Amino acid sequence: MKKIIINSLIFTIAILLFAGCGNVAAPENADSATTMEETTEDDIAAANADGTEAGNNKTDTSTSKQNETAATQENASGVSDSIITEDAAKAIALKDAGLSGDKVSSMRIKLETDDGIQEYEVDFYSGNKEYEYTINASTGDIISKDNDIDDDFSSSEKPKNDIISKDKAKKIALDKVSGATDNDIRIHLDNDDGKKIYEGSIVFNKKEYEFEIDAMSGTILEWEEDGYDD
């Protein structure tokens, strides 16, 4: 009986000791888990920060390269996209000539590049004068200008020495360019080595046609076609 009681006490003590060890270990494990969780969160935050900084650096580098490329392309071409409009160029030419839009005819304008400088070529007629302007497309400054008196320009010109009328010569030229009208043609009577000819040009649908017509017979002596960009 005594032996049984002793064994029971030993068994009870063992159980109590085992339970006590478990309670002591649990907080330690909990603290370790918490520490590990905090460490993991810090590591993730640091990794995210490094990734964001790397992404920002990559974006900055890419943007810088794009800017350098754009600058290189602009410097290589020598041409800027910042130019005045066609209407502005026309207004500059008309103001300098002292004319209003309703006082001119056969106006044409072309954007060209000369030695890396963009220029507007503006031509028009008023009465018996032909005006020609070259205007800097970036600044609007007049580079050059000229006007010539053309006594034969008037559309009311009457036939002389049995030559065909200007209206007849116009029709001959316009018939070769489908869709072109009187507003698209410039024509005047000229003398070429004693031979009277009608000389002029038609600007229509992004093309320019230059011609010479025999003023006596109405035969087209020369005809040239040239395309151009706006």
Name the residue ranges covered by the structural domains of the chain.
1-77, 78-149, 153-230
Confidence of residue 215 (pLDDT cuts 50, 70, 90): very high
Question: In this predicted model, which residue has the larger pLDDT, 14 or 168?
Answer: 168
In the chain, % helix, strand, coil (3-state, to 5) comes to 45, 30, 25
Topology of the domain comprising 153-230: Nuclear Transport Factor 2; Chain: A, (3.10.450)
Q: CB neighbours of 131 closer than 8 A, spacing ≥ 6? A: 93, 97, 104, 122, 123, 124, 125, 145, 146, 147
Mean pLDDT of 38-61: 54
Q: Quick one: which of 223, 205, 206 has its CA closest to 214? A: 223
Residues 6+ apart with CB under 8 A from 218: 164, 168, 169, 172
Name, in order, each residue with C-beta under 8 angstroms of 103's C-beta and a sequence gap of 6 or more: 126
Give the model's pLDDT for residue 56. Answer: 53
Q: Is the alpha carbon torsion for 154, 159, 163, 164 positive or negative?
A: positive
Reduced to 3 states (helix: H, G, I; strand: E, B; else coil), residue 117 is strand
Going from the C-alpha of 125 to that of each of 9, 44, 83, 187, 222, the distances in angstroms are: 129, 77, 25, 10, 23
Least confident of 72-86, 111-125, 126-140, 174-188: 72-86
Are the C-beta atoms of 172 and 223 separated by less than 8 Å? no
The two domains 78-149 and 153-230 share their CATH topology (first three levels equal): yes
Rg (CA), the chain: 45
CATH code given to domain 78-149: 3.10.450.40
Q: What is the pLDDT of residue 60?
A: 55
Give the dihedral sign, CA 135/138/140/143: negative
* Contact present, 112 and 119 (Cβ < 8 Å): yes
Burial of 152 per CB tally in 10 Å (0-12, 13-18, 19+): middle
Average pLDDT over residues 57-67: 53
Nearest to 207 by CA among 76, 91, 110: 110
Confidence of residue 61 (pLDDT cuts 50, 70, 90): low
pLDDT, position 126: 83
Given a cut of 80, whether residue 6 has pLDDT beyond it is no
- H/E element holding 80? none
3-state class (DSSP) for residue 228? coil
